[in-house]
């Protein structure tokens, strides 16, 4: 079963390679979508793929790369807006 989720990660998540780490993990898990910095200082990720794999990725966002310090991860289901061919950094 396919699932699309938007996740908002807060804490020390910008300037610590969080987007590159997210792309690497998403690629390894076979997820589609994107990740970007938000003007609020958060990182936003749009994750699409198998339900189990998307849930696994949301859990992994709590870890992030070594220099990150994640304070919170909030995620919610969203409709798939367009088919993504890969996972990209925006």
Distance CA(28)–CA(30), nearest Å, equals 6
Residue of 8, 12, 19, 86 marked catalytic: 19
Residue of 20, 25, 37, 77 marked catalytic: 37
Concerning whether 71 is annotated as a catalytic residue, the answer is no
Tokens of 28: 């390894």
Helices (H), the chain: 18-29, 51-60
Secondary structure of residue 77 in the 3-state scheme: strand
Concerning whether 63 is annotated as a catalytic residue, the answer is no
Active-site residue set: 19, 37
């Amino acid at each position: 079963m396919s699932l699309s989720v938007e996740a908002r990660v807060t804490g020390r998540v910008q300037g610590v390679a969080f987007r590159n780490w997210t792309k690497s993990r998403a690629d390894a898990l076979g997820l589609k979508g994107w990740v970007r910095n938000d003007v609020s200082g958060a990182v936003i990720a749009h994750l699409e793929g198998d339900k189990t794999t998307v849930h696994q990725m949301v859990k992994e966002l709590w870890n992030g790369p070594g220099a990150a310090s994640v304070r919170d991860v909030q995620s919610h289901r969203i409709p798939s807006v367009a088919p993504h061919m890969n996972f990209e950094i925006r």
